[in-house]
A and B are shown apart, each in its own frame.
Chain A
Amino acid sequence: MTDKVIEVKNLSKAFGERTAVDGLSFDTRRGEILGLLGANGAGKTTSMHMLLGLTTPTSGLIQIFGKAMPAHRVEILQKMNFASAYQFLPYNLRVWENLYIFAEIYGVKNKRKKIDELLGIFELSHLSNHTTGRLSSGEQTRLNLCKALLNDPELLLLDEPTASLDPDIADKVRKALAQLHKETGMTIINTSHNMIDVHELCSRILFMQHGKIIAEGSADEILQKYGSETLEEVFITIARNPVSQKV
């Protein structure tokens, strides 16, 4: 069996005139946490949506778990999951009802136990019976993470998972994700504008600009290449340099 969870070759997406993703190629190994970085509009979300089969690529190939996406969409999605700070669950359902429905969709074995466990990890147990629409945005974000972990995904895509969290909760969520990653060995792709997230969590980083990868490596490698002290500095250098060369 191949060690590669994702193989992307020459993936491109154009929306009319605008090229959102431009010849993206990368692999992810089992168990790694890959950070996808880049300014707003760099093409991170579009890339994720193509990995999820939500958006059809203009060209290129995606293989996940050794199977082609979207040809094997349902089979692949069964073993992966997704959370975004900009997605919600139906607001007039209770927290546990929403999780129950997704647990049922994914065919989770011991639903009650799994739901309780996840609510516990993300400190939402006391809100289990609350209407989802009443949750604060930070609570909603954590609920999304619960949903995303229901099926013990082998591959987890996170689109700005900590975007609406205060530093304290963001730290807790980061630690919880790190812990879950250690326990399960799942593969994670994480887009985040939070450089602490990236530095602490990600074993490898892809910097994207205008739909292309312009830098790749571990956080330390990237800092060295750019002669910077922090990823934040690298981010700003890249974002302000209109045509960055790949390093």
Chain B
Amino acid sequence: MNLRVIKALILKYILIWSRTSFRIMDIFFWPVIDLLVWGFVTVYMLKVGNVVPSLITFLIAAIIFWNILYRSQQVVCVSFLDDVWSRNLLNIFASPIRTSEYVTATYIVGLIQSVIVMCLLGVLAYFLYSFNFLILGIGAALLFVNLLLMGWALGLFTTGFILRWGPPAEGLAWALPFLVQPISAVFYPVSVLPAWLQPVAWCVPSTYVFEGLRQYLAQGHLDITYVQMAFLLNVAYMVVCGLVFHFFFEEARKLGYLAKFGS
């Protein structure tokens, strides 16, 4: 891999999103709306009573972490879509850029945006809902990394589908995270899911992150088994999604789609 190439691609994506109002809103607006809505829901629940105060913290923390996963998945496939939409894909792949360099660049942009979103929501949560993100300490970093990895894997998976199936598959970029959300125990524990769905939920890395997060907030220490399980599953997801992407990329080359979608 050539660092110079990766750097150039990162610069390109940063310039593109910093100049596109919709991309800026993806970072600074929608996540904030998410936090506000859920934050006020929790405030309301508190007022109505009958709620354990820790539920508030659960929900606020969950919304921050969910946005990390969502951002990292989004950036990977939307960066690719930006190249398709600006009819620049052909120029990119007619240049001496390895697929691995291309993917790495989108990963790093995903990391940058996830960090921005995490910091932004962390600060807002502190001032609006007195939720101090920093109390999570190093544990937060471990959970963050796992959500980032899962987002990368899902992003690559989505990009593969878009490469192979073209514009009809573009919606998947936004849909996939929300297909995963109900079974990854973001806002409620796995135990509330129907029994038959629970084993499925335990196959999703983010499930371990959110279960771990709740336990961490409730008991004050992070059970490292959750982190380990999430990480192991993430490695498997990265490999499988990488293979899916590779397969669809080669298919797209055979079908001439790399050239077609780019023009």
Contact = CB atoms under 8 A, between A and B. Distances in A.
Interface of A: 13, 15, 20, 45-46, 49, 52-56, 73-75, 77-78, 81-82, 84, 86-93, 97, 101-102, 104-107, 147
B5 interface: yes
Main secondary structure of the interface of A (DSSP, over half): mixed
B21 to A, nearest CB: 10
A136 to B, nearest CB: 16
A56 B250 contact: yes
B86 A106 contact: no
Given A87-B91, A107-B4, A92 B253 contact: no
Nearest to B16: A90
A33 B94 CA distance: 20
A88 B86 contact: yes
A87 B263 CA distance: 6
A17 to B, nearest CB: 13
Contacts of B255: 15
A56 B251 CA distance: 9
B259 A55 contact: yes
Given A93-B15, A104-B8, A55 B96 contact: no
Nearest to A52: B94
B11 A105 contact: no
Contacts of A97: 15
A151 to B, nearest CB: 9
B7 to A, nearest CB: 7
Nearest to B254: A56
B19 to A, nearest CB: 4
A84 to B, nearest CB: 7
**Nearest 4 interchain pairs by C-beta:** A104-B8, A92-B19, A77-B96, A78-B96
B191 interface: no
Given A54-B259, A55-B256, A104-B7, A90 B96 contact: no
B248 to A, nearest CB: 13
Nearest to B89: A87
Contacts of A53: 93-94
B82 A105 contact: no
B82 A86 contact: no
B88 A105 contact: no
Contacts of B9: 101, 105
B256 A105 contact: no
B91 A46 contact: no
Given A78-B96, A107-B4, A86 B256 contact: no
14 contacts: A15-B255, A15-B256, A46-B256, A49-B259, A54-B253, A81-B94, A84-B90, A86-B263, A90-B16, A101-B9, A102-B8, A104-B4, A105-B96, A106-B95
Contact of B96 (A45, A49, A74, A91): A74
Contacts, number: 99
Nearest to B250: A56
Contacts of A102: 8, 91, 95
B87 A86 contact: yes
B12 interface: yes
Nearest to A73: B96
Contacts of A73: 96
Interface in B77-115: 82-83, 86-88, 90-91, 93-98
A105 B86 contact: no
B231 to A, nearest CB: 32
Given A87-B88, A89-B88, A90-B12, A77 B4 contact: no
Contact of B258 (A13, A15, A54): A54
B5 A105 contact: yes
A55 B5 CA distance: 22
Contacts of A88: 86-88
A82 B94 contact: yes
